Amino acid sequence: MAGEAKSKARAAAPRASARELLIDAAGAVMSEAQTIDVPLTDIAARADVNVALVSYYFGGKDGLLLALAKRDAKTALGELDRLLSLNIGPAEKLRRHLGGVIKTFFRYPYLYRLLAALMRDGTAENAREIAQFFAEPLAKTAKELMEAGIADGSIRKFEPGLFYMAALGACEQIFANRTILKVVHGIEDIDEDLQRRYANVVLEMLTRGYLTDPETRD
């Protein structure tokens, strides 16, 4: 009965949903495998759709992965928009945004490597597309926050582009180098506790630096 109801529901679903099923499956399979190098057949099997639909909807595997990156980026940029609308100063907005970046890479563990691989190995058009829908809006927002903070005196006078690149590097590092994490630190997986401790270290380091305040030193 339940099986019959399920297949009826699937048969009755609008065609577009196979597209969403494939995108969801790609994210789930890459998250579990802890690598972006997963066979397309695994993704199709998880989505329970015919693998030929990948060509139909996305023109191939790269197109499917790009669609996944876009969906995740849209979620992250939507959260950034909500943050920007809050009535808090630019230095605090920047801190919360960088905390959000760490949360995004924790939530989508494949996203960093996926974006890097698509920009490095994909077509020049893919690279430009990713830059336009993700990297450029982020860089522009960060620059505006930096400039507002420099203007109101809450943020030091850094070159915004260079500062933001360095800050993102700090946010991403634990997610980008799983082998170092495993071989040097003996950590197999990033759990919620480690993610929170890392976020605390990164945000403290970025906002106040590693030097203690001279007046509190003995």
- Residues at the site binding its own copies, with contacts judged by CB under 8 A: 91, 94, 116, 119-120, 127-128, 131, 135-136, 139, 149, 153-156, 158-159, 161-163, 165-174, 176-177, 179-181, 183-185, 197-198, 201-202, 204-213, 215, 217-218
In this complex, which beta carbon is closest to its own copies, that of residue 28 or of residue 131? 131
Cβ 139 to its own copies shortest distance, Å? 5
User: Which one, 18 or 118, has the nearer CB to its own copies?
Assistant: 118
User: Cβ 144 to its own copies, closest distance in Å?
Assistant: 15
Q: Please, which residue, 28 or 206, has the CB nearer to its own copies? A: 206
Q: Which is nearer to its own copies, 33 or 165 (CB)?
A: 165
Cα(100)–Cα(203) distance, integer angstroms: 11
C-alpha dihedral sign at 154, 142, 111, 83: positive
Complete DSSP assignment for 69-127:
HHHHHHHHHHHHHHHHTSSS-HHHHHHHHHHHHHHHHHHSTTHHHHHHHHHHHS-HHHH
The nearer residue to its own copies, 51 or 84, going by C-beta atoms, is 84
In the complex, least distance from residue 150 CB atom to its own copies, rounded to whole angstroms? 9
Burial 137-157 (b: 16+ CB within 10 A, else e): bbbebbeebbebbbeeeebee
Amino acid identity, position 64: L
Smallest separation, CB 35 to its own copies (Å): 9
Amino acid at 202: V
Question: Minimum distance from CB of 151 to its own copies (Å)?
Answer: 12
Query: CB of 36 within 8 A of CB of 30?
Result: yes
